């Protein structure tokens, strides 16, 4: 139960920070979501550092990893988890599976959003 609370707390904090950054930076350019872009890149950097510290040096505990990597980075941006999993696939699998995962995730994600919008429009 403690682990769920750590993920919950970290996710809430990450989500609040993502909202604040996007709200304040996305309006700078009309054709580029600067806040979302920065959140995604920062989230990738952060999850890379956290997982690196956890795996290589054991500087952070499993509970800290749940709070910061799974919770905070997961709430801050799911893109960081997507990038981490893609990196793992690239290292542990083939370029074919990595490409399929990347391509299908992006393409089907966009199609799913379009379909959801279409269904709501038809109601």
Residue ranges per structural domain of the chain: 13-122
Q: Is 77 annotated as a binding residue?
A: yes
Please tell me which residue, 99 or 30, carries the higher pLDDT value: 99
DSSP conformation class of 59: -
CA distance 77 to 42: 9
Predicted pLDDT at 58: 82
CA distance 93 to 95: 7
- Confidence check: pLDDT of 19 > 80: yes
Predicted pLDDT at 85: 87
Tell me the whole-structure pTM to 2 decimals.
Answer: 0.77
């Amino acid at each position: 139960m403690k682990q769920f609370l750590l993920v919950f707390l970290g996710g809430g904090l990450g989500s609040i920070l993502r909202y604040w950054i996007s709200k304040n930076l996305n309006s700078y350019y009309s054709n580029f979501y600067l806040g979302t872009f920065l959140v995604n890149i920062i989230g990738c950097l952060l999850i890379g550092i956290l997982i690196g510290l956890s795996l290589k040096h054991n500087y952070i505990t499993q509970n800290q990893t749940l709070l910061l990597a799974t919770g905070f980075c997961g709430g801050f941006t799911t893109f960081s988890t997507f990038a981490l999993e893609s990196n793992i696939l690239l290292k542990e699998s083939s370029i074919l599976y990595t490409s399929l995962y990347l391509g299908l995730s992006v393409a089907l994600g966009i199609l799913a959003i379009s379909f959801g919008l279409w269904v709501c429009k038809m109601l």
